[in-house]
Amino acid sequence: MTCADCSSDPGLLLALNGADERLQLALGRMEAGGVSFLAAQEWTVPGSAVRFLAPGIQQLLDGLGLAGRDVRRIACVTGPGSFTGLRMSLALAQGMAAATGAELAGLNHLELLAAEAAQLLEEGGGAVAALVWSRRGQVYAQAFQRSAGQTSPVSPPQVVALTAMPEFLAALPRPLFLLGGGLRRNLPFFEELAGRDVNLRLLPAHWDAPRPSALLDLAGRAAFGPQALEPMYLRASDAEDNLAAIAAGRGLSEAEAQAILDRGSRPV
């Protein structure tokens, strides 16, 4: 755990990121000018977020002498990214909010990834494209520019097949910086593209995950309210794509399995 000024204070903000292999928790104090960093924890635990989320939050609060009721705002990355990690972190955020009355806000994983790198851009020049691994020869992608000191999207969040990636990249401003797990897991493919385009820059691996301070900074600028958080999946899950076969193996019709899936997908 990393920790700054750990004095107790009401009105705290908790930020959760379970969208990727690195699970992140960050805690800050809400102030008039934004949010000040208190402490953070992170683990690289792909597929195992459920074992660390609740104990991690409890440990974070206990270490500062705080309780769940002190957290008045909870920001959670809603996607795109790991289906399991998103479901677990969103369920915990909404359960905690229901118990404490804290307000909720959703965060875009792609914006979070791009935020720090976008600060390196010259004002109004070039763009950063965040790429998150999506399996099956495709990535989640979104590009951002820097203007008037603010990061703004150039494209919507979307699923892009690698076969369509040259066309997607060609429409974006240059120089264009690429980062994220979608880049790292398909590195030979993107190295070949960069070899043909001198204005396409591949950022090193340390850019592939945001720092907890960046997570807390984005959370501090989010719009909070009492609404339930909707996951940003962008594509059907593997289970949905193979629903007929999975249902048959359990003695269900596809319609019965779909009804069960629909019930389990309703917001808390």
Set out the domains of the chain in order of their start, with CATH numbers: 2-108+210-261 (3.30.420.40), 111-207 (3.30.420.40)
Beta-bridged to residue 202, according to DSSP, are: 178
pLDDT for 9 equals 47
pLDDT for 254 equals 60
pLDDT tens-digit map of 100-121: 999 999 999 999 999 999 988 8
What secondary structure does DSSP assign to 117-185, as a single string?
HHTTSPTT--EEEEEEE-STTEEEEEEEEEETTEEEESS--EEEEGGGHHHHHHTS-SSEEEESHHHHT
pLDDT tens-digit map of 39-65: 999 999 888 888 999 999 999 999 999
Which stretches in the chain have pLDDT values below 50? 6-10, 240, 242-243, 267-268
pLDDT for 244 equals 57
Contact 23, 85 (CB under 8 A): yes
